[in-house]
Amino acid sequence: MKRARPYDREAALDAALNLFWTRGYHATSLKDLEAALDMKPGSIYAAFSSKEALYLAALERYFRQNRDSLRTIGEEAGSPLKALADLMRNVARCSNDDPNCRPCMLIKTLVDVTTDDDEIARYSRQYLDEMRGEFVSLFELAKSKGELPPDADPVRLARRYQSELSALKIEAHCAIDREGLFALAEDLAQQVEQLRVSPGKAKKRAKRSS
């Protein structure tokens, strides 16, 4: 038979990620993966060793993309706090096939996997911890910019924020009514924005420190 051209690892991982994110680890079969990656079993196993290894590679890819995206937001945002609030609003605005309408892949993995999937669970937790660290950095940045009171605790705020963002994505996935989702997202976004000290006070404090 005519041999296919060599596979594109990045494209294969994207396809695998999308499939696992949609169907979960246990409900995704090799048959599904063959179709999505356009590779035959021999090739899949040559390239990725096992279904589990492929899942872990996809998970890492998800984590890196999310972390990088968050860092870009952090670098580009005039107001980190507003950026964080807007991330929540974006969840409510998304359409059904938007990744924002899906639960966080790391959370989905932890809810989905069983005690037989220790390695997968361990990596998911580790990536969740690292994502929390990224949120901490964003809250620290907000604090350093005078957007938060000096006694604000970025670690606590980040933990709360990550939990609530995650909940919001799950609500989006569970397809509660659109209006309800908007209301919930707005509540949570405003809660983030209400953390700030008022702009006048922030400017005065900034002037004093320079």
Partner DNA sequence: AGCTTATTTGAGTGATCACTCAAGTGTGAT
Partner DNA sequence: ATCACACTTGAGTGATCACTCAAATAAGCT
Q: Indicate whether 111 belongs to the interface with a second copy (CB under 8 A).
A: yes
| Direct distance between the N- and C-terminal alpha carbons of the chain, in angstroms, rounded to an integer | 72
User: What is the nearest approach in angstroms of a second copy to the Cβ of residue 51?
Assistant: 13
* Nearer CB in complex with a second copy: 4/27: 27
Check residue 172 for interaction with a second copy (CB under 8 A).
Answer: no
Q: How far is Cα 118 from Cα 56, in angstroms, rounded to an integer?
A: 12
How far, in Å, CA of 44 to CA of 36, rounded?
A: 11
User: Considering the rule CB under 8 A, would residue 30 count as an interface residue with a second copy?
Assistant: no
The partner in contact with residue 164, picked from a second copy, DNA, none with C-beta cut-offs of 5 to 8 angstroms by kind, is a second copy
- Which of 188, 116, 193, 195 minimizes the C-alpha distance to 154? 195
Query: In angstroms, rounded to a whole number, what is the distance separating the alpha carbons of residues 28 and 55?
Result: 10
Minimum Å gap between C-beta 111 and a second copy is 5
Using CB under 8 A as the binding rule, whether residue 82 contacts a second copy is answered as no
Contact 146, 131 (CB under 8 A): no
Check binding of 184 to a second copy (CB under 8 A). Answer: yes
Name the binder of 6 from a second copy, DNA, none, CB < 5-8 A by kind: DNA
